[in-house]
Chains A and B, each alone.
Chain A
Amino acid sequence: MTARERIAGNVAGYVDDRTGAAKWMKKNLTKVFPDHWSFLLGEICLYSFVILLLSGTFLTFWYDPSMREVVYEGSYEPLQGLEMSAAYASTLDISFEVRGGLLMRQIHHWAALIFMVGIVVHLMRVYFTGAFRKPRETNWVIGVGLLTLGIVEGFLGYSLPDDLLSGTGIRIAEAIIQALPVVGSYLAFFTFGGAFPGVAFIPRIYTVHILLLPGIFLALITVHLMLVWYQKHTQFPGPGRTEKNVVGYPLMPVYMAKAGGFFFIVFGVTAFLGAVASINPIWLYGPYTPGQVSAGSQPDWYMGWLDGLVRMAPPIETVTFGYTISWNILIPGLILPGIMFTALALYPFIESWATGDKREHHLLDRPRNAPTRTAIGAMALTFTLVCLLNGGNDIIATTFDLTINQMMWFSRIGVIVLPPLAYVITKRLCLSLQRADRDLVLHGRETGRLVRMPNGEFTEIHEPISAEKAWLLTSHEQLAPLELPDLDGGGVRRPGAIKNKIRNRISRSMATAVPKATQSERKELEGHH
């Protein structure tokens, strides 16, 4: 026994003496994690959240969340002598007077963008592989909650510097609050402590940004991770992998080193971006005043699709009995996003209702083997992407010699036409890939070698694929569509007949598939050769 091992042993003993955790620790230190690059996407979010906490704490040491008017006397000459809020002045001081302050500000902002990108790509991975299925529905809902809160938290952070761009963003947020029927103007006055912009808003959102939301985040992330831990990670199908096992590396030491190392990688990449790429150069925007605005005023990307949606909204407003409802704000700003996030959160339940599949799933789907789900995902992504493009339509127009009017009409039509198109194309693509899989299993891999048969015919030699590959391509299960009766035993229509019919229809669509290759078919084909 080396000295190191003895020390490690003593530590373990010390812990167990005081907590009696030996059994629990033994089980968990050898916990197995499957290895796949896409399983690290969630870790990107976790680590950038830690970076946000660290860099954010640094910023709070100098940031002054106050809308008190001060005269800037810092070292940035083009703003010297101007009146501005203490919040903006202190953000300038962080950027120019505190050594490394600008770097930290940029790391904080880049980390926020990476956090949101991480959430979205992680969500895409979970969605397209069907990792949200039983027993992980709760964790999916928590994840959707984190995404929503992340958007809010990011927007509040973007608002804190109180520069011209963030003020413009707050102005728009205020307009959305104000547009709520009945309570709108009251809610706006309560939020802002009076008329816009007032002097209360920055200190209020500061508390929400650094205390309330991070607290909720910590709680939700803890539950999210505990569930992953307790339920064990899903794994991709492959030889030796079943619904009943997990194949991978033990936590100690391999996964600890890899996951720990990846934290430093994420931090390093964020610091690299903070070092080489300017983000939100607030000193150029100038202090906020409602009478000014800059061309190309956009929110950060995770809000960009919402802004794009608001831009393309038709100009509809109704006045009934002297009361105004701004549909042009409510529909794109609240109703549509509300429907989208609700549908997103409920998706696992909707799918299991439609397929009638109530079993546990720990093996992931290859996206092609769930064509309808994949197609729905592609549809939602296309919708969001068209909105996002429209959110930057002015920049795109000037860059590519288009007009904002063309971009707007493209988006208005595209947002309705393109998602269904994406659905159809994706579904067909998935089925084609299934067909290709089937051919590969039955006929083998094309080698590109041509031989001439005795009868003069040319054929290409096909090599059979490995047993592992064949298993990978056929291990998935193909569900039969539901066949719920609409007549009961006596031939009378049941009360839920229409519901059943709809459910049968959806279930049929979900079960669309090219039959997977079987060993029987292979044998039969071999017999022919």
Chain B
Amino acid sequence: MKRLSRLRRHRATGPILLIFALFTIGTTFQVASAVDAEQTTTIAARSAAIDEGREIFLKGCSSCHGLNAESGGIAPSLIGVGAASVDFQVGTGRMPMGDMSVQAMRKAPLYNPEEVYALAMYVASLAPGPEIPTEEMLNYERDGSTAEGGELFRTNCAMCHNFAGQGGALTQGKYAPTLMGVEPVHIYEALITGPQSMPVFSDKTITPEEKLSMIKWIKAAEAEPQLGGAALGRVGPVTEGLLVWTLGIGLLIGVAVWLAAKAR
């Protein structure tokens, strides 16, 4: 204690403390302002994206969805659908829809990734909603399990999308699309946003890890080579029956005709 009080009374104590204090404050401020600057740039970029997104929206989407995305009578309101929904719908080319058919089809996207991002930011700025999953969140190779994913897929997805993810029929001409060739991020977004006929699969009913397992299984099914020969569309016995009634019996009857024809 004596030592400490002696130090305190040292004549250099004041200036040193002052310098130290100043230094600390300065550094803190510097760090703080740097963080702030970063935030400012992100916010700036984001608001730029929002502005760009609004412009694209006004040109490309507002005639159906309304000037403020509040639903223009033809198409639903986009307030609160979130960035994930926009990324899925526009990123897979489903939106803009083009024609007013029963269901929006997957096609080549009309907008480039930056424009899709801008649109997503704009719609997200209207009201909070599901965010676009980051790449770190989508590491299905690391975080997923194929077998578990298969089980989840068969319980939750196969009834519409078929046992191998080839898609299937719904009522009145609607259909569950094939899952082959769909980006993992889009599968994930579809699960959390429930586009069109598809219901939502909340994170509490199917956890994010389980979603990654499902994606891993879908990707495994997609990459699976033909173990037993031509896959015949992987749609079950209908195509098998078609093949046996055409190629199968056709070959046999062909040989039978040859067998019974008189040789020359």
Contacts and interface: CB of A to CB of B under 8 A. Distances in A.
Given A164-B154, A294-B162, A102 B227 contact: yes
Interface in A31-81: 35-41, 44, 77-81
Given A37-B260, A81-B147, A278 B231 contact: yes
B221 interface: yes
Contacts of A82: 147, 150-151
Q: Is the interface of A mostly helix, strand, loop or mixed?
A: helix
A295 interface: yes
Contact of B256 (A37, A106, A296, A403): A37
Nearest to B217: A78
B168 A292 contact: no
Contact of B169 (A110, A113, A397): A397
A93 to B, nearest CB: 14
Q: Residue among A44, A81, A398 with the most chain B CB within 10 A?
A: A398
Contacts of A281: 164, 227-228, 231, 234
Interface string B123-157: 00000000000000000000000110011001100
B172 to A, nearest CB: 5
Interface stretch (A132-140, A213-221, A258-266, A340-348): A258-266
Interface residues of B, number: 55
A286 interface: yes
A292 B158 contact: yes
A518 interface: no
A298 interface: yes
A192 to B, nearest CB: 23
Contacts of B231: 278, 281
B225 to A, nearest CB: 11
Given A37-B259, A278-B227, A294-B158, A77 B244 contact: no
A189 interface: no
Interface size grouping (class) on chain A: 35 or more
A273 interface: yes
Interface in B204-244: 217, 220-221, 224, 226-232, 234-241, 243-244
A295 B167 contact: yes
Interface stretch (A143-151, A299-307, A469-477): A299-307
A81 B149 CA distance: 12
Contacts, number: 197
A315 interface: no
Contacts of B248: 110, 113-114, 117, 269, 273
A393 to B, nearest CB: 8
Contact of A295 (B162, B227, B239): B162
A292 B229 CA distance: 27
A286 B168 contact: no
A285 B165 CA distance: 11
A295 B232 contact: no
B237 A300 contact: yes
Given A114-B249, A295-B168, A398-B168, A78 B221 contact: yes
B242 to A, nearest CB: 8
Contacts of B234: 281, 284
A23 to B, nearest CB: 31
Contacts of A41: 253, 256
B251 interface: yes
A283 B231 CA distance: 13
A117 B249 contact: yes
A295 B249 contact: no
B163 interface: yes
A109 B127 CA distance: 56
B15 interface: no
A274 B243 CA distance: 12
A404 B160 CA distance: 14
B183 to A, nearest CB: 20
Contacts of A284: 163-164, 221, 224, 234
Contact of A273 (B158, B235, B243): B243
A395 B163 contact: no
Nearest to B156: A292
A354 interface: no
Nearest to A165: B236
A281 B239 CA distance: 13
Given A277-B230, A296-B235, A78 B169 contact: no
B174 to A, nearest CB: 8
Contacts of A512: none
Interface of B: 146-147, 150-151, 154-155, 158-164, 167-169, 171-173, 175-176, 217, 220-221, 224, 226-232, 234-241, 243-245, 247-249, 251-253, 255-257, 259-261
Interface of A: 35-41, 44, 77-82, 95, 102, 106, 110, 113-114, 117-118, 121, 164-165, 258, 261-262, 265-266, 269, 272-281, 283-286, 291-301, 304, 392-395, 397-398, 401-406
22 contacts: A35-B260, A41-B256, A78-B224, A102-B227, A118-B252, A121-B249, A165-B237, A258-B259, A269-B251, A277-B228, A277-B232, A278-B227, A278-B230, A283-B227, A284-B164, A286-B151, A292-B155, A294-B236, A295-B161, A301-B241, A395-B169, A395-B235
Nearest 7 A-B pairs (CB), nearest first? Answer: A295-B168, A301-B241, A278-B228, A403-B173, A294-B163, A394-B169, A40-B256
Given A41-B253, A276-B229, A394-B168, 12 more contacts: A37-B259, A38-B256, A77-B147, A102-B227, A113-B240, A117-B244, A280-B237, A284-B221, A284-B234, A286-B154, A295-B161, A403-B173
